[in-house]
Every structure is written in structure tokens, then in C-alpha cells.
Amino acid sequence: MFEQIKAQWAAGKHEAAVVALTKYLNNHPNDLDGYLLLASFLTILQDFEQAEPLLQKALVKFPQQPSLRYALATLYYQAQAYDKALPLFMALRNDKETREDATFMLGETYLQLNQPQRALGYALTAAEMAPNKSDANVLVADIMIQLQMFAQAQPYLAKALQQCPDSAALSFKYGLVMLVLGQDYHAYFAKARKLDEQYFNDHRQQLDDIIRFLNAQHKE
């Protein structure tokens, strides 16, 4: 049943997939996976008004399921209700099933709250827990770049690039860090442009701003 619904969703028939899954849950009200799938669809569609009560209803049926609490926390994060997301992610760190993802999301959430120092602590922990996951390494690097810790960010970006060598965004970020550190950056910008010229052009202003900043520093 879910395979057909997922196929509808993948084909862009989002409304049809939501309707079919809602009908399925009406007939199978105790299917945990059905609730999680429908909540994920609604969250992606940013239909938070329907997703939240759906998850609350599911939590009444399955109060001990951390996957539901994680889905609710993620919903709040996507809805920018960070004050609601934080305590849920904090509590989810106590559960082995969700500890790793919750730690990562605490880093993301504190970064959105413009608390990069606190975000960095959780991001570093997430990277230690999952050293082979590129998203944790990228999060650490992004926060360090924001804190102007360029030399410290470089090895995390290098590791992420090894994990995702065809990422235009990572090639671009690595090039920026090398530029700031006075290293040869040209190959990374060229690679980013080749992989995704639209991304490169969209972020060209960031590159120009850093070049102007570095030139101003050299004049002082």
C-alpha cells in the first residue's frame, strides 16, 4: 500500500498521496508507520496545521514512540517554532534511537536562533557520533565559518568533500575557506561552477564580498 502512495508522491501527485494515505489511516488507525509517513508529507508541504494534530493524535496512541516525538520536533523546527522544538530535541537525546539525530538538530536549531557558540557544541558532538555523515561535518564547518574559524573549518569541509565529491556547494565553501587562508582556491571554484553554474552564480556575491574584505585587510 505504501509503495503505491510513495510512487504517487514521487511522481508529484502530492495531494493524491495525502488523500490516499489519510483514507488508509481511517481504515487502519493503529498503523504507526502510516502516521509517520503522512506527517512527513504534510511537513514537506508546510501544512503544519494538519501535521501537528495528526502527530499529537498518534502520540496518544503510541506515547512511548520516540520516532513520533522526533517527527513533532522536526515539524516545529520547520515551522520555525524553535521554542517548541528545543525541549523535544533535548529530551530525545536521552533515547538511544534518536540521540544522534536529536543532537544534530539541536545544533541546527541553535544556529537558527543565532547562538553559534552553543550550536557548535552540539554540532561537534554530532560529528563525533557520526563521523562518516557529511551533514554533521558540514554543519560544524558552516558554524565555524560564521565564527570566522576558517582554519578549524577546513578539515571538516575536506572530510565532507571526500564523502560528497560531486557537491557544488561543498566545493564552493571549500574554495572560500582556502581563499581566506591564502591557499590556491581556483580549482574548487571551477569545480563548483562546472557542477552547478546556477549555484555558483547565486553565491557569487558571497565570493565578491570576501575578496573585498580581504583586500581591505591587506590595505590596513
> What domains are there in the chain, each with its CATH number?
1-97 (1.25.40.10)
3-state SS assignment for residue 54: helix
For 50-63, the pLDDT digits (tens) are 999 999 999 999 99
Res 205: pLDDT:
85
The candidate with the shortest Cα–Cα distance to 175, out of 145, 219, 147, 146, is 145
Res 214: pLDDT:
78
pTM score, whole prediction: 0.89
% residues pLDDT > 70 (the chain): 98
Residues across the chain: 220
Res 119: pLDDT:
98
Residue 82 CA: distances (Å) to CA of 65, 74, 92, 216: 21, 10, 15, 37
Q: How confident is the model at residue 216 (pLDDT cuts 50, 70, 90)?
A: confident
For 72-102, the pLDDT digits (tens) are 999 999 999 999 999 999 999 999 999 999 9
Question: Contact at 8 Å (CB) between 76 and 111?
Answer: no
Residue 218 has pLDDT above 70, yes or no: no
